[in-house]
Each structure stands twice: as structure tokens, then as C-alpha cells.
């Protein structure tokens, strides 16, 4: 380990130790070591499924069977994946009361599997099916992924109140779809409380995650970035810990003690 990284790790750890509200903002980079390639990387999902063709609400409304192929591929990628040492380090930080929440853009549920109790999933998750037409939700088991779109059961009950969609989809946010109001409310709650934001494995260029590092800084908080390469966050981060999350995070958490 070079001296700069070692010094920055120590100072970042000291910051986490002395602050009351530490929150992690995570993205695809934290789950790569769990076998989930970043959708946008060269071996990611978007090389097979053009997101503007498959991952939009309009596409699901008009061609649910076609979009289901993408959901099936996501499901195949996530099935059986387990938390890696980066997820486990964040869970350890929460147990030590040095991490108050995880805000994630990931839909893989690995933070909860690692043991984190307060996880805000900005883009939803794959543990339930939801109807874009009426908000109906039902839990479902990843190991029993439906082979084709499932019609919304509310269609028969509330045909008048039902808009557009006729089928349930995994409860993840597609392009062109609004975040759930409760998620936005919780996001704003944490945004105003954060003393230290730990940005892990994300270039944070999708709203609302994109605005968070800047707002934390404007409100007097600090930002620590862990990423393999420079991002827009690097320019305003107080400490940038360059490297893979599964290597760097355990080292940081060990120093927090």
C-alpha cells in the first residue's frame, strides 16, 4: 500500500469515528466482486439489451413480453449471488454504530443479505413484483421467476382505476418511471442529516444520487470516495481512496475499529 493511500485511509477512518451520521451511497462497483457486472460495462447487460429499447416504462407498456427477456437476464445474473467483503464491511460498520444508513442504486439486495438494517433502495429491488398501472405489489421468490409477464390481479377488481399497464414487473425503476414518493421522502431525510457520505463504487451520475455529494458538501458535511477510477465525485471528495471496494472498504473499516 502506498503512503498516500495509507494516510488517507487513516484520516477517512478518523472522520467516520468522530461523526454522528455516516451514510454510504453505493452503486454497481460494490457488487462486481459478487459476480454482477456493471450493466454499463463492456460485459454488462446493456451490451445485450439496449436500455433505451428494453429498460423503459414505455417499452414495458407496449411490449411486455420483449422486456421480460431483459428481466429474465437480470434475474439470471442475480440468482445465487452473495455479498462480498465490501458489503460485509459496511454491515460491520453498522454494527459498530459508525454507519447509520446505506443508500444504494443497486437492485441486488446484497446489502440486506450482508446484514445492513437501514437500506434505501433508490431504484427498487427484485424481491417483489409491482404493477405500474395501479401500484399493486406482491412478494416473489427469485428462484421462481415467472417465465412470462404476470397479469395484474387488480385488473379484474378495479378495471376503472387501472391505467396503462396490464402486467406486473419486478419492482425496479425503469427509465421514464418516477421514484416512489416514500423513497424520495427518505432520501431527503438522510440528505439533511449526513455528516460523512461514503461514496462507494458509483460515479453517481444518475439523479437523485448525482446531487447528493454536492448537497452534503454544501451543508457542511464531508465526502469520502472509494472507486477504481476518477469520477465527478472525486473533484469534491475530501478523501479519495482509489481501488476496488472489496479491497479498500475492509481496510477502512478495520482502521475505524
| Residues lying near Zn ion in the complex (CB under 5 A) | 131, 133-134, 136, 152, 154
Q: Which of 75, 87, 111, 123 is catalytic?
A: 123
> Rounded to whole angstroms, what are the CA distances from 93 to 115, 177, 249, 251?
10, 33, 10, 12
- 129 φ/ψ angles, rounded to the nearest 5 degrees: -105, 140
Comparison of 7 and 164: residue with beta carbon closer to Zn ion: 164
The helix/strand/coil state of 32 is helix
Sheet of 167-172, strands arranged across = 137-139, 124-130, 167-172, 150-151
Instruction: State the residue for C-alpha cell 425496479.
Output: 172
Active site residue 111: no
Q: Are 87 and 81 contacting, i.e. CB atoms less than 8 angstroms apart?
A: no
> Rounded to whole angstroms, what are the CA distances from 140 to 26, 53, 125, 132, 181?
24, 26, 11, 16, 22
Q: Are 49 and 79 contacting, i.e. CB atoms less than 8 angstroms apart?
A: no
Comparison of 65 and 205: residue with beta carbon closer to Zn ion: 65
**Least spacing, CB of residue 132 vs Zn ion, in Å:** 8
Comparison of 82 and 137: residue with beta carbon closer to Zn ion: 137
Comparison of 46 and 136: residue with beta carbon closer to Zn ion: 136
SS3 content of the chain, % helix, strand, coil (to 5): 40, 20, 40
CA quadruple 84, 90, 92, 98: dihedral, nearest 10 = 170
**Least spacing, CB of residue 204 vs Zn ion, in Å:** 33
Catalytic sites, residue numbers: 123
Amino acid at each position: 500500500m502506498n503512503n498516500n493511500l495509507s494516510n488517507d485511509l487513516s484520516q477517512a477512518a478518523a472522520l467516520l469515528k468522530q461523526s454522528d451520521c455516516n451514510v454510504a451511497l453505493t452503486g454497481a462497483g460494490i457488487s462486481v466482486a459478487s459476480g454482477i457486472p456493471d450493466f454499463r460495462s463492456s460485459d454488462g447487460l446493456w451490451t445485450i439489451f439496449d436500455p433505451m429499447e428494453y429498460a423503459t416504462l414505455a417499452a414495458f407498456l407496449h411490449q411486455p413480453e420483449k422486456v421480460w427477456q431483459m428481466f429474465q437476464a437480470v434475474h439470471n445474473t442475480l440468482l445465487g449471488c452473495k455479498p462480498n467483503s465490501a458489503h460485509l464491511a459496511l454491515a460491520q460498520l453498522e454494527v459498530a454504530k459508525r454507519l447509520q444508513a446505506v443508500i444504494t442504486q443497486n437492485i441486488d439486495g446484497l446489502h440486506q443479505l450482508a446484514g445492513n438494517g437501514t437500506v434505501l433502495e433508490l431504484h427498487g429491488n427484485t424481491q417483489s413484483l409491482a404493477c405500474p398501472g395501479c401500484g399493486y405489489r406482491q412478494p416473489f421468490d427469485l428462484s421462481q421467476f415467472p417465465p412470462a409477464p404476470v397479469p395484474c390481479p387488480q385488473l379484474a377488481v378495479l378495471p376503472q382505476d387501472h391505467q396503462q399497464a396490464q402486467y406486473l414487473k419486478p419492482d425496479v425503476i425503469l427509465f421514464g418511471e418516477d421514484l416512489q414518493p416514500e423513497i424520495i421522502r427518505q432520501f431527503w431525510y438522510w440528505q439533511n442529516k449526513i455528516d460523512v457520505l461514503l461514496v462507494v463504487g458509483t460515479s453517481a451520475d444518475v439523479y437523485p444520487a448525482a446531487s447528493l455529494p454536492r448537497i452534503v458538501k454544501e451543508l457542511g458535511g464531508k465526502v469520502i470516495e472509494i472507486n477504481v477510477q476518477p469520477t465527478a465525485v472525486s473533484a469534491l471528495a475530501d478523501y479519495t481512496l482509489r481501488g476496488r471496494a472489496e479491497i479498500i472498504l475492509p481496510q477502512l473499516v478495520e482502521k475505524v475499529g
